[in-house]
Amino acid sequence: MVNYNGTLISFNQLPVEDLKRATLYGDALFETIRMRDNKLLFIEDHYFRLMSSMRILRIPIPMNFTPEFFVIQAKKLAAALTITNGRLRLQVIRKSEGLYTPIQNDDCKWWMELEALDNKDYQWSSKGLKVELFKDHYINAGLLSTVKSSNSLPYILAGIFGKENGFDAVLMVNNHKMLVEANSANVFVLKDNILKTAPLADGPIRGVFRKNLIKWVKEIGLEIKEESINPFELQKSDEIWLTNTITGIQWVEQYRKSSYTGLKAKELIELLQRKLNVLGTL
């Protein structure tokens, strides 16, 4: 079941005509939001990123698109599915006839999907990830690279490469050979007490969890820097983190011949959990 423009329908009832541009040209974008105790985490951050992305892609924004509107629609779907902790995907598609160029760029359609998660909280894992660098295709740094669009071929190919070669995740570089992100997460690299992540100008997704983590790390005594990261820095680092709003923080245990701990990552997860318990939502 999905929430299609405010109406609950089965997935196979989605109108083919409304999916056409997404299928033919990847002319769509999405937000993936974590639901905890029937509340959408970071909803304002997701909302503002959605609005920014729609403006960048010149997708018309309906007047009823507000944070409150999406919360109501998400709860409507959650109630029907009896899910209180899950992964919500909000898909927005430009609706128009035409080929590459839309004939009338004055409409969009949206739908929500909700999948249950086993745990309502961000979990610490005693087992870290095994990662490798993916160099077959680069992220072309620019404004479009920061948008969560449905045109996701580099991430798909990176994921296939990782699966075929026994890696839990792969790290991606931009056209200047700088580390920017992983195939489904932002990347943070810790050396001593300095935590680095690639600046948006280098091409990473404008991650919602990334944005908040940049503020949180100061509370555990780390200095944060948004600087270009040369992949050679990885083998000299103390910790490597992969982050997104669904999994939270995952720590890297092995990259090539180097091994790492995730002690500071664990400390940050504990801090985040305390924040969630006190505030109910962020």
Q: What is the pLDDT of residues 113-136, one digit of tens each?
A: 999 999 889 988 999 999 999 999
Provide the pLDDT for residue 275. Answer: 84
pLDDT in tens, 61-104: 999 999 999 999 999 999 999 999 999 999 999 999 999 999 99
Are the folds of 2-116 and 129-279 the same? no
2-116: CATH number: 3.30.470.10
List the CATH code of the domain at 129-279. 3.20.10.10
The model's pLDDT over 146-164, given as tens digits with 9 standing for 90+, comes to 999 999 999 999 999 999 9
Q: Token pair for residue 157?
A: 């190919």
Average pLDDT of 244-271? 96
Q: What is the pLDDT of residue 277?
A: 80
Mean pLDDT over 202-224 rounds to 96
pLDDT band at 279 (very low <50, low <70, confident <90, very high): low
The pLDDT confidence band at residue 280, using thresholds 50, 70 and 90, is low
Domain boundaries, the chain: 2-116, 129-279
Residues paired with residue 223 on neighbouring β-strands, in sequence order: 194
232-245 average pLDDT score: 97
* pTM of this structure: 0.94
**The pLDDT of residue 276:** 84
